[in-house]
Chains A and B, each alone.
Chain A
Amino acid sequence: MRTSEIIGDSPADQKDPRWHIRVRGLTKSFGPHLVLKDVDLDLERGKVNVILGASGAGKSVLIKHFMCLLRPDKGHIYVDGTDVLSLSPKQLSLFRRKFGLVFQFAALFDSLTVEENCAFPLKEHTKKSTSEIRDVVNDKLVALGLDGTQKKYPGELSGGMRKRVGLARALVLEPEILMYDEPTTGLDPLATRNVDEMILDTCQRYNVTSVVISHDMASVFRIADRIAMLHDKKILEAGPAAMIAKSQQPFVYDFLHASGVSAIDGGRTPDSSHAAGHGGSIDKLGGDPT
C-alpha cells in the first residue's frame, strides 16, 4: 500500500523541493526476519514529521536507512532528490553531516565532558581551531539553556539535560535534518513537555526538517505537522497530523485511542507558528542548567 500523498514516482518528482526525504519500496530483513516491506514515505522539508508505530515495528531501522547507516535489501531513499544508495563511501561521509541524530538516552560519550561531547563532531569533521570550536559549542549550549555545564560529565546531568546536550551535539554541525529516536520515552510529563518544546523550537529556530519516532501519543499530537503510521512492516497511513487524528483506518484508530486518550484535538494546524502556544523558547525550559 502506498502512502496517501505520493505525488509521483518519476525521477523529476524525487527532486520536488517540498519533500526532503522520499523513500520508495524499501525492504529490509535481518536474516530470516523481514522488518520492512515495500515502505513508501515522504518527509516534508522544514516540518516536524513523526513516524508512529508500536515497539519493535522497525521505526529505528527505518530512520537508520535515511542516513545509510543500514542499506536496504531493495528500494531507494532520496534525500534532496539524490539517491543515497548511489553515493561512494567518501560522498556518504559528507552526506551524513546533513543529519543530526538525537538518541533516546542521548548516547553521550561518558568519558568526555559536556563541552568535549559537543566539540566531538567539529573536531572530527572540520578544520576549526580549538577556540573557534569552543565558541560554537558555547553558543549552542547557551541557546539550549545549558550554560555552566561545560565541564561536567554526562553522569552528573539529569535525563532531560542529557537529552539537550545530545541535541546540542547534533546541532553543532548545523544539520539540515534532525532525527529524534523516541525523545520522550521514560520522561515524566513535565520533562516530556519540555522536550516537545525543545523539538518545536529547534525546528523553527534552525529551520531544520525534524523526524521524530515515537509512540507517545500525547507528545506526538503536540509536535507533529505530519504523521506516518508504521505497522506490519509498512506505512499504513501517512499525512498531516489532523488527517491522521481522524483516520478511519482501524489499526490507526485503535493505536491512537488505546493509550487512553479519549479524543485527539486534531494535532497542530499546518500554519501554526512553532513556538506560538507551545511555551516559548528553549531558554525558558525547566530544569536548573547549572
Chain B
Amino acid sequence: MSEAPPPPPPGETKPGMGVSEVSHTKRKVPQPYLQAAAPEKKVTVPGALWQGVKDTGAPVQRFLDMFGGHMIMMAKSLAWLPRRPYRPKNYLEAAEYIGFGSLPIVLLVGFFTGAVMSLQSIFAFKAFDLESFSGGVTAKAIASELGPVLTSLMLSGRAGAGIATELGTMRISEQIDALESMAVNPLQYLVLPRLVAATIVTPILGLLFFCIGMGGAWLVAIILYDVPQGQWVANLRNITAPIDVVQGMIKCAFFGFMVTLIGCYQGFNAQGGGRGVGIGTTRAVVLGSVSTLILDYFLSDILLSIFGSGRGG
C-alpha cells in the first residue's frame, strides 16, 4: 500500500471549500493521544491472598451498598413529605395503580388461598371429627401470615416490577434528568407518592384478601363439605381475634412500603439501556419477594411480643 499523502499543515484551508466536502483520500490519522498499555502487574502471594479476601467480601460490600442506597433513598424521599408542592394527583394515581390495579389478582389469590386452606384443614381435622375448627385455623393463618405475605408477593410481582420498569425507562430515556432540569425533584415527584400510596393501600388490600379468603373458606366448608355453620363460626371466633387482622394489616403497611421502595430504587438506578431496565425489574421482584419473607419473620416476632397471640372470644 502506498504511503498516504501528508495532511495539509494546520490552518491552511482551501478557500471556498465547505464542511460538506468530504475528502475521500485515505489518510493516516495520527494517534499520539492513545494511552500506552499499562504494564502488567506483578502478582505476589500476599497480593493474591488480599485480592482473594477482597473478592470473597465483595458480595457483602455490594449488599451493604444496596441496603444503604435504599435507606438513603427512603430518607431523602420522606424528607420531602412536608414540603410544597404536594401534588395530590400523583398520590391518587399511585394509589390507583398500586391498589386498585392489584385488586383483581389479590382477590383471586385470596379466594383460592382461603378455599384450599379450608379444604386441607377439613381433611386434617376429619380424623378427630373436628372439621368445624377449620374456619378458625384458616382465619388465623390468613389474617396473620398468608394474607400479608401473599399480598406482598403479588404486589412485588405486579406493582414492584411495574414501578421498576416505569422508573427505569424514565431513567434511561433521561426523563428523570429532564425533571431535575425543570427544577422538579424526582424523588418528591416520582418516589414519595408511590411510597405513601403503597403504605396506605396495601393494608386495605390485605384486609380484602382476608375477607375474600374467608369467603372461599366458608364456601368450601359449609357448602361443599357440610360442616355445621354454627360450630364453624363459634370456633372461628374462639381461635381468631380482631387483633390478628390488625397485626396482618400492620405487616401489610411495612411490606407495601418495602416492596415499593425496592421497585423505585431499582428503577431509579437502572443503567445501560433495555437490558438494565430488565435487570432492575428482575431484581425488584426477587428482592421484593425475598425481603418480604425475611421481614415477615422479624415483624411477626415484634408484633407477637407487643400484642401477643390474639385469642378469640
Q: Do A and B come from one complex?
A: yes
Docked CA distance A266–B178 (Å): 34
Partner of A218, one of B10, B19, B32: B19
Point out the residues of chain B lying under 8 angstroms from A279, CB to CB. none
Q: Is B7 engaged at the interface, CB distance under 8 Å to the other chain?
A: yes
Point out the residues of chain A lying under 8 angstroms from B7, CB to CB. 257
Point out the residues of chain A lying under 8 angstroms from B40, CB to CB. none
Q: Is B96 engaged at the interface, CB distance under 8 Å to the other chain?
A: no
Given A262-B23, A263-B14, answer yes or no on A96-B181 (Cβ-Cβ < 8 Å). Answer: yes
Given A105-B174, A251-B33, A262-B22, answer yes or no on A124-B182 (Cβ-Cβ < 8 Å). Answer: yes
Residues of chain B from 143 to 196 with CB closer than 8 A to chain A in the complex: 169-170, 173-175, 177-178, 180-184
Digit string of B15-38 for contact with A (CB within 8 Å is 1, else 0)?
011111111010001101100000
Asked if A103 and B177 sit within 8 Å, CB to CB, the answer is yes
Point out the residues of chain B lying under 8 angstroms from A222, CB to CB. 19
Chain A nearest Cβ from B250, distance in angstroms: 33
Q: Is A121 engaged at the interface, CB distance under 8 Å to the other chain?
A: yes
Point out the residues of chain B lying under 8 angstroms from A250, CB to CB. 10, 30, 32
Partner of B19, one of A96, A101, A109, A221: A221
Chain A nearest Cβ from B246, distance in angstroms: 37
Q: Is A16 engaged at the interface, CB distance under 8 Å to the other chain?
A: no
Asked if A260 and B22 sit within 8 Å, CB to CB, the answer is yes
Q: Is A247 engaged at the interface, CB distance under 8 Å to the other chain?
A: yes
Q: Is A107 engaged at the interface, CB distance under 8 Å to the other chain?
A: yes
Q: Is A246 engaged at the interface, CB distance under 8 Å to the other chain?
A: yes
Asked if B85 and A263 sit within 8 Å, CB to CB, the answer is no
Docked CA distance A264–B13 (Å): 7
Given A96-B183, A260-B23, answer yes or no on A109-B175 (Cβ-Cβ < 8 Å). Answer: yes
Number of interface residues of A (CB under 8 A): 42
Docked CA distance A258–B184 (Å): 40
Point out the residues of chain A lying under 8 angstroms from B23, CB to CB. 260-262
Docked CA distance A69–B7 (Å): 42
Q: Is B11 engaged at the interface, CB distance under 8 Å to the other chain?
A: yes
Docked CA distance A281–B84 (Å): 41
Point out the residues of chain A lying under 8 angstroms from B19, CB to CB. 217-218, 221-222, 261, 263-265
Given A104-B174, A107-B177, A250-B32, answer yes or no on A262-B17 (Cβ-Cβ < 8 Å). Answer: yes
Asked if A265 and B174 sit within 8 Å, CB to CB, the answer is no
Docked CA distance A121–B170 (Å): 17
Docked CA distance A69–B17 (Å): 41
Point out the residues of chain B lying under 8 angstroms from A124, CB to CB. 85, 182-184
Asked if B183 and A93 sit within 8 Å, CB to CB, the answer is yes
Asked if A218 and B20 sit within 8 Å, CB to CB, the answer is yes
Given A125-B183, A217-B19, A245-B13, answer yes or no on A254-B178 (Cβ-Cβ < 8 Å). Answer: no
Docked CA distance A99–B14 (Å): 39
Can you name the residue of chain A whose Cβ is closest to the Cβ of B12? A246
Can you name the residue of chain B whose Cβ is closest to the Cβ of A179? B181
Partner of A247, one of B10, B14, B17: B10
Docked CA distance A69–B179 (Å): 11
Point out the residues of chain A lying under 8 angstroms from B184, CB to CB. 124
Residues of chain A from 184 to 221 with CB closer than 8 A to chain B in the complex: 217-218, 221
Given A125-B183, A247-B10, A263-B21, answer yes or no on A258-B29 (Cβ-Cβ < 8 Å). Answer: yes
Digit string of B261-277 for contact with A (CB within 8 Å is 1, else 0)?
00000000000000000
User: What are 23 A-B contacts defined by CB distance under 8 Å?
Assistant: A69-B180, A96-B183, A97-B183, A99-B181, A108-B175, A109-B175, A110-B169, A110-B175, A124-B182, A124-B183, A217-B19, A218-B19, A222-B19, A247-B10, A251-B33, A254-B30, A261-B19, A262-B22, A262-B23, A263-B19, A265-B16, A265-B19, A266-B13
12 additional contacts, CB 8 Å, given A110-B169, A124-B182, A261-B21?
A92-B183, A93-B183, A105-B173, A125-B183, A218-B19, A246-B13, A247-B10, A249-B10, A254-B29, A254-B30, A261-B22, A265-B19
